[in-house]
Amino acid sequence: MLWALIILILCGIPGRDIPHISFLELLSFDKFVHAGIFFVFVLLTLRGLVLQGKNSKHAKLVAGMICISYGGLLEVMQGTFFSERSADVYDFIANSFGCIIGIVLYKNLERKILSRFIN
């Protein structure tokens, strides 16, 4: 929940307060940021569901639905409620891409990270 709140705050920052660096815009740095934020969001959500006893396949589906829906809702909110912000379908695609990559890599990351603490 804390990460979701952080994402909401970041997405609600007025456009005039976001630094514009031309060479980063050329590299679509913004899309990498969106994907990275939602990559972490889906990993945290998925881990929370697994710790609650959800089986892995069900947890992946639920985490994906929650995180992708949240990304879509934030884009709608940017287009309607937040000042000097606009909805961007490419941001939504980047959000969703980050979620999907997180879901795909979750088991491998879980094994690598937990093995450091268990062994």
| Percent share of the chain, pLDDT over 70 | 82
* pTM for this prediction: 0.78
Asked whether residue 12 carries a pLDDT value surpassing 80, the answer given is: no
Whole-Å CA distances, 17 to 10, 12, 36, 78, 102: 11, 10, 21, 14, 29
Q: Residue 30: CB partners within 8 Å, gap ≥ 6? A: 24, 91, 94
Residue spans per domain, the chain? 28-118
Residue 20, pLDDT score: 57
Name the more confident of 42 and 57: 42
